[in-house]
Amino acid sequence: MRICLLTEGSYPYVVGGVSSWIQMLMQGLPEHEFFVYSIGAEQKDRGHYRYKFPRNMKGIQEEFLDDILSQKASGRMRHVLNDREKQTLYNLVTGDEDFSVHELAPIFRRPHQLSFLQLFMSNDFFDVIQRVYEEHYRHLPFTDFFWTLRSMLLPLFYLLQQKLPEADVYHSVATGYCGIIGALAAELYHKPFMITEHGIYSREREVEIIKCSWAQGDFKSIWIQYFYNLARLSYHTADHVYTLFQHNAEVERDLGCAPEKIGVVPNGVHMERFAGIGELEPAKGGIHIGAVVRVVPIKDIVTLIRAFFVAKQKMPDAELYIMGGTEEDPEYYAMCQQTVRLLQVPDVHFTGSIQVTEYLPRMDMLVLSSISEGQPLAVLEGFSAHRPFITTDVGCCRDLIYGVGDDRLGAAGIVVAPMDFQAMAEAMVRLGSDYELRRQMGNIGYERTKRYYTYERFITRYRELYAVEKEVQAAWQVSASN
């Protein structure tokens, strides 16, 4: 079976949880062929892959959104949209009514199609913009509103007109742009469509937009509503939606996904990679605190540094190792370095990308300071190395640390509120001052991972899920032939 994996801002350009998950999925299912449809931000990333592709990955289609900047439109055209198509685009922007991706296909995939920019700049679509403005946003300056919609919609319009690969199943790893493209491809080729959400895409975009400086006031709300609209459209079209833990499933239901479509499939890790790392031993010298993490805003490295600064007042020999790539967001990396300098905190090490199996044996505890997560592989890998974890209360971190359901193993670490550097510092000091507690928690994390979060369980489940999609496809073919 040929499976098209649709990614956005991740594989194969960025090393991290979602990208690692995709790599493990393909490697674990050699009986299937995979094709990757990747949406990236900038052309400069084309061909700069951070992963060695497995043999069963048969190709990649790369689409970069900065291609839009080179496009030009000539003149304003009229009579390019009928009334139904205008209503569909109105619903796309406002979210006032549900609609199907089936209604988008005639707008963007017809023969002799206008370019996406000609369509946006047409008089017909300007009528749509005016209607949205008059009915919802009259209190805003119209010029600013128009340019906001342009920035918001052109990437989607552009992608909706690009070539779509043929496959037996379309599998998107988010509900954003790649979710809509997967839905459209499944519609055009009459194939099954499934989604796996690691974090809740629309919620993550909301957090980013609230904190951003490029949108202000009510324009933030316009962007946030747009991403929720895309998510609802993706949910509506998908045959099945899978997520990593039960709370996310409940959020998906609340955001408009039909409950009968939703399933929970936890992540899994290769525990054998860490087989050479035994139980935690007493610290030799100062306490070593580690964070296996990309240096990007959503991981909130600044809070981690502030917490270490406070903890170091009581543990002067402690050292902090921030183990992950620094090149993804140079401005944020510079901010983190500036925070270290301003606080004048010594013993903070930015290692860059590393082999975790080489560094984890040196750590006495691990920390995850994120403001948003799904089910972080970094925590499961740390558990596989018998290391206790301090995490923020995001995603399913609480489930991983304390257990869920019939799991009565106990605490594998400590959970604190996001951005609460004081509580994080107190947790560092508590673990740093009690070797027996660290060892016990590390062993609980190891046992929890062994029971519930192995790579083998993860792969077996997706092998079963793809078999279900194959049955859906076969049923459709029988129905079509009749």
Does the pLDDT at position 374 exceed 90? no
Q: CA 271, CA 476: separation in Å to the nearest integer?
A: 39
Dihedral sign computed on CA atoms, order 311, 313, 316, 322: positive
pLDDT at position 204, please?
A: 87
Q: Exposed, middle or buried by CB within 10 Å (0-12, 13-18, 19+), for 221? A: middle
Strands 240-243 and 365-368: unpaired
Does the pLDDT at position 100 exceed 90? no
Does the pLDDT at position 263 exceed 80? yes
SS3 label, residue 322: strand
Residues facing 289 on adjacent strands: 320, 365
Q: CA 454, CA 382: separation in Å to the nearest integer?
A: 13
DSSP state of 97: S
pLDDT at position 72, please?
A: 73
Does the pLDDT at position 380 exceed 90? yes
pLDDT in tens, 208-221: 899 888 888 999 99
pLDDT in tens, 2-30: 999 999 999 999 887 789 899 999 999 99
Overall average pLDDT of the 256-276 stretch: 94
Does the pLDDT at position 75 exceed 70? no
- pTM for this model (two decimals): 0.86
Report whether CATH 3.40.50.2000 matches the domain 2-70+163-268+459-481: yes
pLDDT in tens, 140-184: 999 999 999 999 999 999 999 999 999 999 999 999 999 999 999
The highest-confidence range among 115-119, 210-214, 382-386, 472-476, by mean pLDDT, is 382-386
- From the list 61, 67, 69, 71, the residue with the least C-alpha distance to 34 is 61
Report whether CATH 3.40.50.2000 matches the domain 271-453: yes
Overall average pLDDT of the 186-208 stretch: 92
Q: Residue count of the chain, please give it.
A: 482
299's tokens = 């991981």
Does the pLDDT at position 448 exceed 80? yes
Q: CA 393, CA 420: separation in Å to the nearest integer?
A: 10
SS3 label, residue 64: strand
Angle at 41 between CA 183 and CA 18, to 5 degrees: 65
pLDDT at position 481, please?
A: 64
Domain ranges of the chain: 2-70+163-268+459-481, 83-149, 271-453
Q: CA 118, CA 121: separation in Å to the nearest integer?
A: 5
Give the DSSP H or E segment for 108: helix 105-108
Q: CA 2, CA 168: separation in Å to the nearest integer?
A: 5
Asked if domains 2-70+163-268+459-481 and 271-453 share a fold, the reply is yes
Amino acid type, 212: C
CA 395 to chain centre: 12
Overall average pLDDT of the 357-362 stretch: 94
SS3 label, residue 171: strand
What Å distances lie between residue 162 and 61, 157, 271, CA to CA?
Answer: 10, 9, 41
Cβ 255 vs Cβ 202: under 8 Å:
yes
Task: State the average pLDDT for the chain.
Answer: 93
DSSP state of 43: G
pLDDT at position 388, please?
A: 98
Instruction: Extract the runs of DSSP E, i.e. beta strands, from 26-155.
Output: 33-40, 57-64
Overall average pLDDT of the 185-191 stretch: 93
Does the pLDDT at position 393 exceed 90? yes
What Å distances lie between residue 441 and 93, 215, 359, 438, 448, CA to CA?
Answer: 49, 43, 19, 5, 11
The highest-confidence range among 67-81, 108-122, 443-457, by mean pLDDT, is 443-457
Q: CA 358, CA 250: separation in Å to the nearest integer?
A: 38
Cβ 463 vs Cβ 265: under 8 Å:
no
Overall average pLDDT of the 241-267 stretch: 94
Does the pLDDT at position 474 exceed 80? no
More confident residue, 15 or 453: 453
More confident residue, 180 or 207: 180
Around Cβ 331, how many Cβ atoms within 10 Å?
7
Q: Each residue of 443-476: b (16+ CB within 10 Å) or e?
A: bbbbbbbeebbbbeebbebbeebbeebeebbeee
- Any residues with CB less than 8 A from the CB of 287 and at least 6 apart, and which? 315, 317, 318, 319, 364, 365, 428, 432
- Phi and psi for 96 in degrees, rounded to 5? -65, -35
Residues facing 319 on adjacent strands: 288
The highest-confidence range among 73-82, 115-124, 363-372, by mean pLDDT, is 363-372
| Unique residue bearing structure tokens 């199943």 | 169
SS3 label, residue 194: strand
DSSP state of 44: G
pLDDT at position 140, please?
A: 95
What Å distances lie between residue 435 and 149, 284, 387, 427, 438, CA to CA?
Answer: 56, 11, 11, 13, 5
**DSSP string covering 260-271, please?**
GGEEE----B-G
Amino acid type, 189: Y
Dihedral sign computed on CA atoms, order 390, 391, 392, 398: negative
SS3 label, residue 58: strand
